[in-house]
Structure 1
Amino acid sequence: MEYSISQVARMAGVSSRTLRHYHDIGLLAPSRVSGNGYRWYGRRELLRLQRVLLLRGLGMPLEAVARTLDGETDELTALRRHREQVAAERERLDQVLSTIDRTIAALSGRAPIGDEEFFTGLAEARNRFREDLAIRYGDGAGGHLSAAGQATSGWTREDYERAAERGRRLFASMSRARERGVAPGDPEALDLVSEHHQAICALWPADAAAYHALGDLVLDNPEQRAMVANVDPLLPPWLAEAVRAYAVHRLGHGTPGSPT
């Protein structure tokens, strides 16, 4: 059985743009491309996509994913290796969970925790995000995130908590709009995304093209998607589309003279 690119995107929880990108870079070719340019995928391609997303979920850069998959011919051996990687990721998440538990214990007065411990296990997520930006959009984008890290290096625990709370409130407002049937391209949605854009630009000077591309990372970067889905599991695709719409309609992405 074959599936269209939109069907595969829905099944896998990624964007059609991401699948086209994977095709363009040689990571995931469709089983065939029809005369009208439509891409079609079979079971073999679905299995490869599953493995791509698994490795991406483990934080592996796209170039490394391609090398890994292209160097493997034995599916069973490949799955066993991926199981080892998942086990390693579970260990990393256990470290993050331990940090959260210690923080809860400290806030409830059961055990003290130093300010440095508060961030244990969280730096890796930022590093993966920086690598993702650099691979997709060049070293300059990753460098901007490094500058953002320096800008927040003096933040206290309370600063991080306030920023996180602002983000949760914004995502909650977006979730309520989505539930009311507000489309991602509606003016109300774009007004909400304006606050998201301002928060991004306060740390990362993203131009129209970079902010448009950020819509894909809302879906494809595990930490970014989880941060949004934690508020509303159905919000990531809505927000991704709204971010792209904002870049087009409010920032002029794709218009003559704008960054593309």
Structure 2
Amino acid sequence: MTERTQVSSTWTVGKVAETFGVTVRTLHHYDEIGLLAPSARSGAGYRLYTDADLARLQQIVVYRRLEIPLETIRELLDGDESAIEHLRRQRATVMSRLDELQELVGAIDHALEKQMSNEKLTATEMRELFGDAFDESYAAEAESRWGETDAWAQSQRRTAHYTRSDWESVKAETDAVNAAFTAAIDAGLPASSEPAMDAAEAHRASINRFYDCGYEMQRNLADMYLADPRFTKTYEDIRPGLAQYVHDAIHANADRHDG
């Protein structure tokens, strides 16, 4: 009887990057820190990924989406847990976050029912809610630049009767959008990936709270995020490199819809 051996496939770094939606740079970084190294070589000496390497990468991608640090991921993967145990751990983490989100939704619903206050927030209260992102001088500058536009008029009409509850919803929505961008970039996903572009679409929806924001207008906003150091700093304070990533994701999403 002839012994049968199973031959595993091998993948180049470029093919792995394209298939898993990670950058070549990210894969090289994983290799450098010993998290994921190609374990095969071609006849010409090029390093190749095996099926086992890809299985490890799948685990890494899931852990990164759960915002687990790379060093912790390496400790987890190099430990004694089986693949099944890893999946159970990941599922438990996701479920715990679902519980947190459900609690947050409940808190927001309670705040909406109570309506908290029908009075407009003062400048001090706005600063307490939005922190350094709120500056009274920005409003004056915005009016001088765009006061004659339809978008400015829309924004003034829509926010004229916003209550504390409304502004807290705006803040929560903004934080959620920024968190989605951050999760995508931390997972090593390109700005043209589905999660990044979905975050860009959520960003556009949040702008629609104030005025009708089409894709071309959103492109202009994205360009301003890089052109104006104040806007750039707002994103860079959240996560270095985020301003450029948000810009690129917005343009990629606009291209997706324009196409």
TM-score, scaled to structure 1: 0.48
TM-score, scaled to structure 2: 0.48
